[in-house]
Amino acid sequence: MPHLFDPGPVAEPYASLARAFRAEWGPIFHRGRLDGTARVLVIGQDPAASEDITRRILVGEAGHRLQGLLAKLCIDRSYVMVNTFLYSVYGQSSGEQHASVPEIAAYRNRWLDAIVQHNPLEAVIALGHLADEAWNNWKQHAGAGAPQLAYAHITHPTQPESSSRDDPAKLSQATQKMLANWNQALQQLHPKIAHPDAQRPLALYGDRFAAGDKAEIPEEDLPPGLPDWMRSPAQWAQRTGATSAEKRSTVTVRIPG
């Protein structure tokens, strides 16, 4: 059986946007459809180590959780995702300081302009408050001509881990809170998706992630030739090193299992 793959931003208007960068681990632009078929736009925060390797965003744990949320909206492939930042941010405070830096916002807004103009979008989902800030910045930039799209700003998929700092009780409380927040977004957005990829009744989350609540990263979302384990939720890539400079320059990849 032939394997599907994503050729990347090879056609305009995305090709010119992608030609503009090269630094350290390099920018990571997107995941999902660039062929004008996206119904849902997702704005994430910033790429992590696994995304540095796959060259597509939201492929790790956050991506699997999000993919499950999209599946509950009956969106299996008609989406496109971009991050607030093209590069990994070091620490949350660095993200806070830079989300609205004019040069960063201006470039991100060119991607958002291209996506909004070239796709029959029906909904936008922002993961976390920096993504919400990015969308609001774009709306201001787009002005009165911006289309009225259903919009949900949801808790970032790995906020429970980052807020609980290895405390299991806090983690389970934060997960429960996040899933309640996601259920609200599902109830708001599900009726607004007029052209889903499939017809399924809306199945809300319980108090914790249950079997089937996360979904696999589709093969057609990654560049050609990447092995299947790079689409698995296992933490197969990590920044390693004794100092932050070493961590900045080192990603250790280990095949899971």
Residues lying near ligand URA in the complex (CB under 6 A) = 44-48, 51, 57-58, 60, 62, 83, 127
- Minimum CB distance to ligand URA smaller for 164 or for 196: 164
Task: Provide the minimum distance between the beta carbon of 145 and ligand URA in the complex, in angstroms, as a whole number.
Answer: 28
Task: Provide the minimum distance between the beta carbon of 41 and ligand URA in the complex, in angstroms, as a whole number.
Answer: 14
Instruction: With H, G, I as helix, E, B as strand and everything else as coil, classify residue 117.
Output: helix
Q: How many CA atoms lie within 13 A of 119 on its CB side?
A: 29
- Minimum CB distance to ligand URA smaller for 62 or for 74: 62
- Minimum CB distance to ligand URA smaller for 104 or for 196: 104
- Find all residues with CB under 8 Å of 167, minimum gap 6, and list them: none
Instruction: With H, G, I as helix, E, B as strand and everything else as coil, classify residue 141.
Output: helix
- Minimum CB distance to ligand URA smaller for 117 or for 235: 235
- Minimum CB distance to ligand URA smaller for 161 or for 196: 161
Cβ neighbours, 10 Å, residue 109: 18
The whole-angstrom separation of Cα 56 and Cα 53 is 8
Task: Provide the minimum distance between the beta carbon of 61 and ligand URA in the complex, in angstroms, as a whole number.
Answer: 8
**Dihedral Cα 86, 96, 99, 172, nearest 10 deg:** 60
Q: Which residue is nearest to ligand URA (CB)?
A: 44
Task: Provide the minimum distance between the beta carbon of 43 and ligand URA in the complex, in angstroms, as a whole number.
Answer: 9
For residue 209, count CB atoms less than 10 angstroms from its CB and return exposed for 0-12, middle for 13-18, buried for 19 or more: middle
CA distances (Å), origin 232, targets 21, 69, 155: 28, 17, 22
- Minimum CB distance to ligand URA smaller for 109 or for 155: 155
